[in-house]
Structure 1
């Protein structure tokens, strides 16, 4: 079966190489001269990208890296990322992208945990690795964009083995890992197969989003995240589209410049980005960005007012969705042209979801419970972590740790993380519900709610609020916000305390780290 039509693992041939599958069809379809990647250094065609990826087989051979060994990628978003990532997969080597915002201690632990044979590091990140490299002399280090180690550009230029065929990998072989963000404890290495990249593209990127070869795609989330990997690598290459990469911080000004300059049609964002984009006035007008037709959002529930603001300005929708590192990309989402802001949506075709109570029994319509999912792109487990693997992957079903409810019409609404839920007066309170009420106030930019004990040791909601530029954070505003929430929600849900902050603690993906706020509550 043509892999572009595959919707299940069984639809793909047993001998299947994900890198070859993403690039070779573009050459066969005559798109070799078309621009595949735009980064800060210029444009790279599909022909040139395919050549770079093929030459990586010679690079790995020169480094002594063998099939099925791991290599770490600590790379910013330039064409070197897909070159090394897909080059490794094509050669049967297992790439492991790393969050570029982590500490040297994190990197040291992941290098030891993965037993990686080589590490590829962007020049601006080399200082994080200098001592580590000295302590791991048996590991080969390679520099991207300059740096103290072997030059990736020189290694590619010197490689004369571009004609080596792709490794004869199986669709169920491990293709790559993604470490979880590690918001609590050490990160976990989720192992993904060759089949999963094509299936996420077909089921969501092409199937739901409708990404095609005429699109120009830009992702706020970087390629080392599961969400960004799909947005900025898997989906555009699977569809024969063009991807725009931004190696720096995704400020509103920078993203707007790229959207307007390259006529971006599809924007992958997160709620935090969209909130700041509109609040600071850096989002372009429709006239300045006429090609922008649709956006995605993930990481946290998208507040309805942000989706409505995007639609009013650009005439298209933000497709909110829920995904995870373990499932590789979005499995629950809205649909273009049928958006119901304020909820996450419905299962992406090809995935099944259910909501269960603490005993594992299905809950009724409108009742909160734990969301579980099954589908063809689930990781096969965590590297060297059987206890967590057993706890998360329950047979065919994967525990998400998210609380959800589903109404009689099949719409799923987020109720917070399992460990974020509050029980106030014996009644569950979703912190998300209180946060959404707060951000509806004109003075509030962002809000996070956690549980805190009162004088009697009973849990009540505590809010942390970032106000919009020009607003005064004082006792008058605090009283107004409490009254505002009481007017919108049941009175017991209002925050008993409000603390104003300049910013909220977040992961690199933009998720609010409520566990850090709970530590200070």
Structure 2
């Protein structure tokens, strides 16, 4: 582990130069690339630039940036200066941005120029915010990063920070309510990179990494920043929202060796008729999924079409990156795999007592990348961070051989005929049917007031006889996972409600049912 006196930016940026990788490409975006030497020089000038803006050590700055080269420059430059970058989602509303900027008390916000009008609206009259700086080439009346960074002729010395200083924030992308500020310390990125990056995924210096998951997202930050830079690899950045077409374009142009995406994108690629003749590059040795559980059928379909497996991973904003994955050389679809080296996992019951194998309990994680806590949310911090353990809020099953399998969110589980049922298990069964692209399940009351599963499905093809398909699906679920678990109601929808990071929002399905039918049927 790092010594007490430790600055993460020196370890991740300057070390690569010191070890002879200065002229190696660190990041590529559609308009430019930057080598480790250039990144080190630019990051060193960020501190003096921020000081000129009146921003002192331990202050916070918000980054609302697309995945472009300026992201790592500002991220590491701020950390190097002992200033805390707060990474914000690029797909929020003005009201949400106002809440986050107010909550974080950021003194400056660096924003991609296409989002500038929205942020200017959101930031109006905020007392703590001193500067809005545009990032990009489009003209605007705001200060521009290119100009103010170029005005700094010399880089500043790294700030004296320690391993336990807060280095950066991310906001949790919870499926309900406003997000919580998650504070990570300087020593966390190193722990994530060594544990998940080197030991489990097997990052190498010659890797070219493409993470379709964005840098503001804990999964993307770990993939394309921490794990890649730790070994001196190269990351390809894509600023727009990824589609099947754009992913294949990046794969063809840059020939990456590692691909990271969320299950929704893997499913979208498989369903995209315009890409049905595309193939993966020979150099691509590993595909990884996280952000939400990977449906087994998506993995099986990917293997069938491309001859490659998808490694299913589990992480969280609170833990910073992946702590549980399938083994890359032994993928078992339908499971979450084994704990990443350096992390300990346990399952507990409702009273917090450890449970034995072959039972379902809430998953707790112990590891050196756990967040320091939530910003100004004392009660929630105490509930989530319990000594050395972090509660995930997820239910899991653990086999005797140590393999974990996801069973749903703790607050999503419900009983049918007195037996606990996981919505995710029913969704998996529905999606194993060839005519279903996506599925979501919630509890609903029947006419007798008893709880039963209700399903929402997105069809693989709209040319289906719905009434015949309903009967087909019910029998399919009965045969797959048990006669009491089949959905009593099935509703076809064009799409499922999700957060901007791709997580299913079940509460919106419940609200949709209530709004349209007057009851939860």
What TM-score bracket applies, with the shorter chain setting the length?
Answer: over 0.9
Q: How far apart are residue 282 of structure 1 and its match?
A: 5.6
1:217 paired to 2:209: yes
Structure 1: how far apart are the matches of 2:352 and 2:172?
Answer: 25
Structure 2: how far apart are the matches of 1:204 and 1:331?
Answer: 7
Structure 2: how far apart are the matches of 1:234 and 1:361?
Answer: 35
Secondary structure of 1:30's match? helix
Q: How far apart are residue 196 of structure 1 and its match?
A: 0.3
Report if aligned partners of 1:58, 1:160 keep a CA contact under 8 Å in 2. no
Counterpart of 1:348?
A: 340
Counterpart of 2:516?
A: none
Provide Cα deviations, 1:290-334, integer angstroms capped at 9, x if missing partner. 111101111222122322333345544321111100000111111
Structure 1: how far apart are the matches of 2:110 and 2:426?
Answer: 43
Secondary structure of 2:457's match? strand
- Matched ranges for 1:14-163 at <5 A: 14-136=4-126, 138-145=129-136, 146=138, 147-162=140-155
Q: How far apart are residue 135 of structure 1 and its match?
A: 1.6
1:509 paired to 2:509: no
1:520 paired to 2:509: no
Structure 2: how far apart are the matches of 1:434 and 1:194?
Answer: 41
Secondary structure of 2:21's match? coil
Structure 2: how far apart are the matches of 1:314 and 1:113?
Answer: 45
1:258 paired to 2:250: yes
Structure 1: how far apart are the matches of 2:43 and 2:464?
Answer: 54
Q: 2:284 aligns with which of 289, 292, 311?
A: 292
- Structure 1 residues 283, 152: CA separation in 2 closer, same or farther (over 3 Å shift)? same
Q: How far apart are residue 470 of structure 1 and its match?
A: 4.7
Secondary structure of 2:203's match? coil
- Structure 1 residues 473, 238: CA separation in 2 closer, same or farther (over 3 Å shift)? farther
Secondary structure of 1:181's match? coil
Structure 2: how far apart are the matches of 1:233 and 1:288?
Answer: 23
Q: How far apart are residue 275 of structure 1 and its match?
A: 0.8
Counterpart of 1:459?
A: 451
Flag structure 2 segments of 5+ consecutive residues without an equivalent: 514-521
Q: How far apart are residue 386 of structure 1 and its match?
A: 0.1
1:166 paired to 2:158: yes
Report if aligned partners of 2:344, 2:366 keep a CA contact under 8 Å in 1. yes
Structure 1: how far apart are the matches of 2:411 and 2:124?
Answer: 40
Secondary structure of 1:423's match? strand
1:303 paired to 2:295: yes
Structure 2: how far apart are the matches of 1:183 and 1:507?
Answer: 7
Report if aligned partners of 1:17, 1:167 keep a CA contact under 8 Å in 2. yes
Structure 1: how far apart are the matches of 2:423 and 2:470?
Answer: 18
Provide Cα deviations, 1:180-212, integer angstroms capped at 9, x if missing partner. 114222211010000000110000011111111
- Structure 1 residues 473, 450: CA separation in 2 closer, same or farther (over 3 Å shift)? farther
Secondary structure of 1:200's match? helix
Structure 1: how far apart are the matches of 2:178 and 2:404?
Answer: 30
Provide Cα deviations, 1:31-80, integer angstroms capped at 9, x if missing partner. 11111111011221111111111110121011111000000011111011
Counterpart of 1:274?
A: 266
Counterpart of 1:8?
A: none
Structure 1: how far apart are the matches of 2:12 and 2:301?
Answer: 35
Report if aligned partners of 1:403, 1:416 keep a CA contact under 8 Å in 2. yes
Structure 2: how far apart are the matches of 1:55 and 1:501?
Answer: 51
Secondary structure of 2:228's match? helix
Structure 1: how far apart are the matches of 2:307 and 2:33?
Answer: 29
Structure 1: how far apart are the matches of 2:405 and 2:228?
Answer: 29
Range with bigger deviation, 88-97 or 110-119: 110-119
Secondary structure of 1:278's match? helix
Report if aligned partners of 2:7, 2:158 keep a CA contact under 8 Å in 1. yes
Report if aligned partners of 1:292, 1:314 keep a CA contact under 8 Å in 2. no
Structure 1: how far apart are the matches of 2:324 and 2:26?
Answer: 28
